[in-house]
Structures are given as structure tokens and as C-alpha cells.
A and B are shown apart, each in its own frame.
Chain A
Amino acid sequence: MRKSTTLNLGTGTFVLLGFAALLFLTTQTTSRGISLGSKPHYNLTAKFDNIGDLKVGAPVSMSGVEMGRVTKIIFDPKEYKAVVSMRMDARYKQIPTDSDAAIYTQGLLGGKFIGITAGGADTYLKDGSQIDFTQSAFVLENLIGQVLANFTKSSAPANSGTPKADAPAAPQAKAAEKAK
């Protein structure tokens, strides 16, 4: 009998350790905390032309303060846009309805996150609301592509016409052109 007790104890400890390690891996090493699920929250959506490599679990912040997480990303086949669902902490309820959401990059090569800039309306976003003003992800390749395109154009003057900027990063690209 005593032998089987040690056996059970050993097995139990091992299994507990194993599951603790799994729990640690899923909650402590990833951006997916366990705390958000239980806290009071409300949901928002936003449509983006291009989300870059935004991932489920990415933070949603305002003025640098984390207010929520991306919970779902689906593709809307009618408008050809990405629909991003966000779960917002219920403490931050006063987000004006005309606020805009943009996708930014953490650091130079870090992951993407959503930044919300407050608008001026008196009404606030509610559970299930959609943020109408959005700005797509800043895609580095597009910018580099434009710079290169402009560079080849300026070196070959026979080719006239303004380059058509289709990426959201157009202002920066123009600025780069001017600088030259």
C-alpha cells in the first residue's frame, strides 16, 4: 500500500508539473493572457484595406495604453477588406464614435498593433460598434517599391507622369521623392 502511495504521488506531481508547464507556455510566453477572458469587456470591429501581418492577440492601444486585444480576423469577400474584431477592456468606455484606428509596427521590425486616435464626437462607441475611419498597415515593401520606382523614373526622364500611389504610405513616399 505504501508503495502505491509513493507511486501515485510521483505520477501526480509529474502530471501537475507538466500541465503547469503547458499553462506557462500558453499564457506567459505569448501575448495571450488568461486574465482578459474573465474581465468585463465589450467588442468593437474595424475594416482595413490591408492588415499586414497583424495577428490575433495583438494589442489595441490608445496613446500607448493597452486597452484590448485583437480576437478575430476574417475576410469580407464583398468589400475585399479584412474585418478585425477587438475585445476592449470595459474600463475604457469613452472612445468617441469618430475615432480612427490605424495599424502600427512595434519598433522597426516588431509585430503589428492597432492604435486608436480619439475623434471629437460626443457619442461613444458601444459593444458591437464599428470604427469607420481606418488606416491600413504600413507595409515596408510597398514603400521601398515606390522609392525604387521613383528612383528609376527620375533617372529615366523620358518616362513622364506622376507615380500613382496606391498604398497608405503615399505621403511619405512623396516626401521621399521631393527630398531627391
Chain B
Amino acid sequence: MRLIKELWTSLIESLVGLGAVVRFLLRLIVVAPRALLRVDLIAQQVFNSGALSLVIIMLSGLFVGMVLGLQGFQLLQRFGSEEALGTAATIGLVKELGPVVTALLFAGRAGTALASELGLMRATDQLSAMEMMAVDPIQRVVVPRFLGGVIAMPLLAAIFSVIGIYGAQLIGVQIMGVDSGSFWSQMRAAVSLSDINEGIVKSCIFGVACSLIAVYEGYYAMPTAEGVGRATTRTVVTSAVVILFFDYLITAAFL
């Protein structure tokens, strides 16, 4: 009985949280057209969220691709179709690993940075100071950060996938001796534009979700050191769950 009651309260709480996040998103969308006029601010956030995550994304992409090359080769060899390695690695990267791993890394690298930055701005009255200077902090601070993340994510995911494909190629072709021609030609014949589209749609949605969660947690962080710390933790945890949940939904929708 008590368990049911607790479950019920936590359900209500999460619904309230979901509603608050969605309303925050609507608020961002309302302000977005005006914020879009400040291209310089958005560009700076694309730099913060995107360019600064580039190294970790590229490194991870390379290693994920290399692992795919090894595992895929081992598996495909059993069926005597090592030539399909290019196809397998590319489809795996473009549709799944690229968007999902990039989004998880993004949440850890850029998401936490966004949340703690906004939380700190809240804790040190910077957001209130802007309000007092008749500057809307949502428009001036939150929306550029949100849009920067939304723009950066698909680009990061694409870079991840490309590096990953070359990682798989490095292992498969250079080391395991798969024929380079069939690696690429089989890939081209089997990968369709809708596979790429699925990956792009996924990374765009992940971009919106991760950036939204990060700016929401940061903006509404408790204005204390502990509150900021909690906001960054929650950003990572919530983002990870939401990414995987949406991943399933989108994959199911594309089938």
C-alpha cells in the first residue's frame, strides 16, 4: 500500500517535471526568433558545445569504429561474408552508435558545462542582474545556448560516424585484409539515404532533448554550490535515459 502510494507520488512528480520542461521549451521557442538575430551569440555557443567537444567525439568515434571493425569482422567471417563489413559498420554507426554515443558524450561534456554555467549564473545573481538591466536572460543567455547545442549535435554525430567508418576501414581493410573495393562498394549498394536520414533525425532530436535538459536544469538550479552540483548530475542522468528512450521510439518509427 505504501509502495503504491510512493509510486503514485513519484509518477505525479515526474509528470509535473515533464510539464515544466515542455513549458520551458515552448518559452524558448517563443523567444527564439528574436534570439536568432544575435548570430554572434549563437556562434559562440556552437563553439562552446560543438568545437570544444570535437576532440572527444573524434577520439570516441575512432575507437568505436575500430571495435566495430574487429567485432564485425569476427562475426561476418563465420558466414564468409567479410565484404559486408563496410555495410555493417556504416549502418551501425550512422543509424545507432553515431547519434546515441555522440548524444551521451555531448550530455557529459557540453550538457554538464551548460548546466553548471547557468546554475552558477543563477547562484551569483547574474541572471537577476540581467533582468534588472532589462535584458531577458532567456533570450540573451538560455536560447543561444540551447540553439548552439541543437546545431552542434547533428554535426558532431556526422563527424563521429565518418571517423567511425574510417576506424572500421582501418581495422577491416588495412589489418584484417578485407578488399577495399568491396568494402566501399557493398556499403554504397546497401546503405540507403533513409538510413542516413534516420541518423540525422535522431541526432537532431537528441540535440533538442540534451540541450533542453541541460539549460532547464541549469536555469532552475538551486542557487547554491550543492544545487549546481545536483543540476549537473541530473543533466547527465536524465539526458542518458531520455536519449535511449527516444532512440527506441525513433527506431520503431522508422521501421
Chain A residues engaging chain B, CB cutoff 8 angstroms:
7-8, 10-11, 13-15, 17-19, 21-22, 24-26, 28-32, 55-57, 106, 110-111
Check B244 for interface membership: any CB of A closer than 8 A: no
Q: Mark B18-53, 1 if CB is under 8 A from A, else 0.
A: 000000000000000000000000011011001100
Contact A13 B51 (CB under 8 A): yes
Per the bound structure, the CA–CA distance linking A96 and B161 in Å amounts to 44
Set of chain A residues within 8 Å of B193, measured between Cβ atoms:
26, 30, 32, 56-57
Check B116 for interface membership: any CB of A closer than 8 A: no
Check B213 for interface membership: any CB of A closer than 8 A: no
Per the bound structure, the CA–CA distance linking A166 and B15 in Å amounts to 56
Contact A11 B47 (CB under 8 A): yes
B interface: dominant SS: helix
Contact partner of A29 among B44, B50, B188, B200, CB < 8 A? B188
Number of B interface residues at 8 Å Cβ cutoff, please give it: 31
Check B94 for interface membership: any CB of A closer than 8 A: yes
Check B67 for interface membership: any CB of A closer than 8 A: no
Given known contacts A11-B43, A29-B191, A110-B190, is B155 in contact with A18 (CB within 8 Å)? Answer: yes
Known: A15-B46, A21-B162, A30-B191; 12 extra A-B contacts, CB below 8 A, are A10-B47, A14-B46, A14-B152, A19-B155, A22-B155, A24-B162, A28-B188, A29-B94, A30-B192, A30-B195, A31-B192, A106-B189
A interface: dominant SS: helix
5 contacts between A and B (CB under 8 A): A7-B47, A8-B43, A18-B156, A29-B187, A56-B192
Contact partner of A18 among B44, B90, B154, CB < 8 A? B154
- Closest residue of chain B to A13, judged by CB? B51
Contact B189 A110 (CB under 8 A): yes
- Closest residue of chain A to B197, judged by CB? A26
Per the bound structure, the CA–CA distance linking A87 and B46 in Å amounts to 40
Contact A18 B187 (CB under 8 A): no
Per the bound structure, the CA–CA distance linking A28 and B90 in Å amounts to 11
Per the bound structure, the CA–CA distance linking A67 and B187 in Å amounts to 20
Per the bound structure, the CA–CA distance linking A57 and B189 in Å amounts to 9
Q: How many A-B residue pairs have CB under 8 A?
A: 84
Set of chain B residues within 8 Å of A14, measured between Cβ atoms:
46-47, 50-51, 54, 152, 155
Per the bound structure, the CA–CA distance linking A25 and B165 in Å amounts to 10
Per the bound structure, the CA–CA distance linking A21 and B43 in Å amounts to 19
Check B159 for interface membership: any CB of A closer than 8 A: yes
Per the bound structure, the CA–CA distance linking A55 and B47 in Å amounts to 39
Q: Which of B104-125 contact A (CB under 8 A)?
A: none
Q: Mark B54-67, 1 if CB is under 8 A from A, else 0.
A: 10000000000000
Set of chain A residues within 8 Å of B199, measured between Cβ atoms:
25
Contact A17 B159 (CB under 8 A): yes
Per the bound structure, the CA–CA distance linking A135 and B172 in Å amounts to 38
Set of chain A residues within 8 Å of B196, measured between Cβ atoms:
25-26, 29-30
Check B141 for interface membership: any CB of A closer than 8 A: no
Contact A7 B44 (CB under 8 A): yes
CB distance from A46 to the nearest CB of B (A): 21
Contact A29 B165 (CB under 8 A): yes
Given known contacts A10-B47, A25-B196, is B189 in contact with A15 (CB within 8 Å)? Answer: no
Set of chain A residues within 8 Å of B50, measured between Cβ atoms:
11, 14-15, 18
Q: Which of B139-194 contact A (CB under 8 A)?
A: 151-152, 154-156, 158-159, 161-162, 165, 186-193
- Closest residue of chain A to B160, judged by CB? A21
Set of chain B residues within 8 Å of A29, measured between Cβ atoms:
90, 94, 165, 187-188, 191, 196
